[in-house]
Amino acid sequence: MPQTPRTPVAQDSQISQSSRTHQSPQPPLKIGVLIGSVRPGRFADKVSQWFVSEIGRRDDMETHVIDLSEPALAEELKLTLERAAGSGDAPTLAERIGGLDGFVVVTPEYNHGYPASLKLAIDYVYREWRAKPVGFVSYGGMAGGQRAVEQLRQVFAELHAVTLRDTVSFHMAWEQFDDEGRPHDQDGTAKAAAVLLDQLAWWGLTLREGRAARPYDG
């Protein structure tokens, strides 16, 4: 019997009741949205564009998209595992990661795992991940990409990053968006994103202040 597709949820957490506009005397957190899929015709574009728009509702964050399909990044990773100079004046991936305060990884699930392109990019960078928060937006079939996320948690723990407990996941993702890239359940997805982003804001600010006061050398 066909199963009814589930809507995206913030995993096992009450929905945030905070305002969508976040006033803060602190400089905005620089948040990298790392798009892990590089496949032609990828579904990642719809998911990532939606999530970037959710960050845009806030004033305590600014978005920096890191798309692994960008020609310069793709060439840099192709020439790896040394820091390639082949991208001209463009900053390397490590330099881009190093200048950010936190991250959200947008990942599909391929065969119970995450894309090889994403693993290569994560491993290509090392110290720049340390003492920074990492959240996840996943998509896939009935599992919603959660098996990929659980594997990524282990990898980022080894890199001394702090992964957020709550995630946003899209089960049967191709059924969750309209032709314009809008989620069918706009209210539910917005609330799920708010939970994740509120956690990211707390950890991002706390760890940024911590690194400034006492550089992390673990």
Q: pLDDT digit string (tens) for 35-93?
A: 999 999 999 999 999 999 999 999 999 999 999 999 888 887 776 544 444 444 557 89
DSSP 97: H
Compute how many other C-beta atoms are within 10 angstroms of the C-beta atom of residue 12.
Answer: 8
Burial of residue 155 (number of CB atoms within 10 Å: 0-12, 13-18, 19+) = middle
State the pLDDT at residue 91.
Answer: 72
Asked if 155 contacts 146 with a C-beta cutoff of 8 angstroms, the reply is no
For the chain, the structural domain boundaries read: 28-213
Torsion sign, CA atoms 89, 64, 98, 137: negative
Report residues of the chain scoring pLDDT below 70: 1-24, 79-90
State the pLDDT at residue 205.
Answer: 98
State the pLDDT at residue 215.
Answer: 92
State the pLDDT at residue 8.
Answer: 52
State the pLDDT at residue 184.
Answer: 97
State the pLDDT at residue 22.
Answer: 52
The SS3 assignment for 84 reads coil
Just give the CATH number of 28-213.
3.40.50.360
Can you read off the two tokens belonging to residue 122?
A: 């994560």
State the pLDDT at residue 59.
Answer: 96
Pairing type for strands 29-35 and 61-67 reads: parallel
State the pLDDT at residue 84.
Answer: 42
State the pLDDT at residue 87.
Answer: 45
Asked if 49 contacts 182 with a C-beta cutoff of 8 angstroms, the reply is no
